[in-house]
Chain A
Amino acid sequence: MATKSLKAKGNELAQSNRQLDILNGGVFADGELPYFKDKINEIGHFPLRPKKLEILQINVGYMCNQVCEHCHVDAGPDRKEIMTRETMQQCLAVIKNTGAHTLDLTGGAPEMNPDFEWFVEEAAKAGIKDFIVRSNLTIIRANKKYYHLPDFFKKHNVHVISSMPHYTRGKTDKQRGDGVFDKSIKALQELNARGYGMPGSDLRLDLVYNPSGAYLPGDQMAMEKDFKKALDEDFGIQFHNLFAITNLPIARFLDYLIASENYEDYMYALVEAYNPSAVANVMCTNTISISWDGWLYDCDFNQMLDLKVASKVKHIKDYNEDLLNDRNIIISQHCYGCTAGAGSSCQGTVA
């Protein structure tokens, strides 16, 4: 079980350029596996171009109460990077004028940013229709100061998307830390008690499933069926949808793949599972990712690799949607993760 971030440990994989060296070298440089660029070129999708912007994904900080084994953000209690109110105000100015209809708040644990609730309230006033918070669940039970969060979410009709690695205690705690399963169950019951996730309820509660290891997620519908049955039978818990997300070889998951000697096999598995029909709908085509310090990225993964958008506009303070829409999306071999099998995005499968 991880206890510190790669950054705190001084691990070389905390450096984005070292990660990119690995992703661009090895079996790809040897010609054993094809570069992602060449694969999407075969179907006329290179360069990858954005479609209509629909989602602003804002990472309000890397601080988190958990240190999950697979975290591509390398988040944890020792990460102090959080978005300031000044940067949030720059985001709000964009929210008021953009055509994007969805605001997707992520982290770390986004709730740990002291201005989180202020930001949600201001963004609600700015007229965001679909408001997503990616909650790790345990934060709701981590400290009394967070106990009111389910009520706060309900007040603003926030769509809660929560990580849940498995419906059994052992697998969940192994990936996310001892006691995480029980706290997550308690948090889900609290959300259910407020109407979240109940059949027919407008209070949306979706779960996110990441595989706990060096393998790809199974069929999303089948997994959802299993999760629903087990969580209902064992704990009386209801939720709407399960999103199955492929782990991308970045940061802590990349470190795990290399340390466990699974990296090469995993990349083979990703490339073998490459699905051309997933390419058109990858999330970077309708999303802009904004980092805690206001820089713009094609997706949250590119943010962690410090691959800023290929545009004259690179920071939220200079935001210009027309200029941003006229850009090529930056890709590397990690992008195979979003096109494997049924495809993967923050909203689950795409194909």
Chain B
Amino acid sequence: MADTYYNPKDLRKFGKITEWSEELGTKFFDYYGKVFEEGALSAREKSLIALAVSHVVKCPYCIDAYTKDGLQKGVTKEEMMEAVHVGAAIESGATLVHGVQMMNKYDKLSM
């Protein structure tokens, strides 16, 4: 066994997920592939969304994959970093907005 939880080489093996459950794995990859096709949003825009989400869900495999994908699509480093800030803003906003719940509870419990 590897002595770390993440191994970059494991990303190459992602497709092997289907080996232990072909039907579900195949359905996932079909869906995944369809999601990233050019649609109402361009593949380039989807790549930037994926990069932002990768950071929010803190998936190192996804960060590797969508940094590379962005480079392949001609995305600049400035665009990439802005996307990460969007993810970070939503993530911190999501934490902060719960402050309202705290404030509500505080007010309710306080005389």
Contact = CB atoms under 8 A, between A and B. Distances in A.
B76 interface: yes
A223 B44 CA distance: 10
A226 B76 contact: no
B85 interface: no
A28 to B, nearest CB: 16
Given A171-B76, A268-B12, A222 B44 contact: yes
Most chain B CB atoms below 10 A, which of A216, A218, A227: A218
Interface string B4-17: 00000000100000
B12 A223 contact: no
Contacts of B72: 211, 215-218
Interface residues of B, number: 11
A66 to B, nearest CB: 21
A218 B38 CA distance: 13
A85 B38 CA distance: 51
Interface in B67-111: 68, 71-74, 76
B12 A218 contact: no
Given A219-B43, A268-B12, A226 B74 contact: yes
Contacts of B12: 268, 272
A276 interface: no
Contacts of B21: none
A218 B74 contact: yes
Contacts of B44: 222, 226
A213 B69 CA distance: 12
Contacts of B74: 166-167, 209, 218, 223, 226-227
Contact of B73 (A213, A218, A272): A218
Contacts of A268: 12
Contacts of A167: 74
Contact of A215 (B42, B43, B71): B71
A268 B72 CA distance: 16
A20 to B, nearest CB: 25
A222 B71 contact: no
A201 to B, nearest CB: 25
Contact of B71 (A170, A213, A227, A272): A213
Nearest to B71: A215
- Among the interface residues B12, B42, B43, B74, which one has the most CB atoms of the partner chain A within 10 A? B74
Which residue of A166, A167, A209, A215 has the most chain B CB atoms within 10 A of its CB atom?
A: A215
Nearest to B43: A222
A188 to B, nearest CB: 18
Nearest to A217: B72
A268 B74 CA distance: 21
Contacts of B76: 166, 168, 170-171
Interface in B25-53: 38, 42-44
Contacts of B73: 218-219, 222-223
Interface string A196-212: 00000000000001010
A223 B74 CA distance: 7
A292 B42 CA distance: 44
A209 B74 CA distance: 10
Nearest to A264: B9
A54 to B, nearest CB: 30
Interface of A: 166-168, 170-171, 209, 211, 213, 215-219, 222-223, 226-227, 268, 272
28 contacts: A166-B74, A166-B76, A168-B76, A170-B76, A209-B74, A211-B71, A211-B72, A213-B71, A215-B68, A215-B71, A215-B72, A216-B72, A217-B72, A218-B72, A218-B73, A218-B74, A219-B43, A219-B73, A222-B38, A222-B42, A222-B43, A222-B44, A222-B73, A223-B74, A226-B44, A226-B74, A268-B12, A272-B12
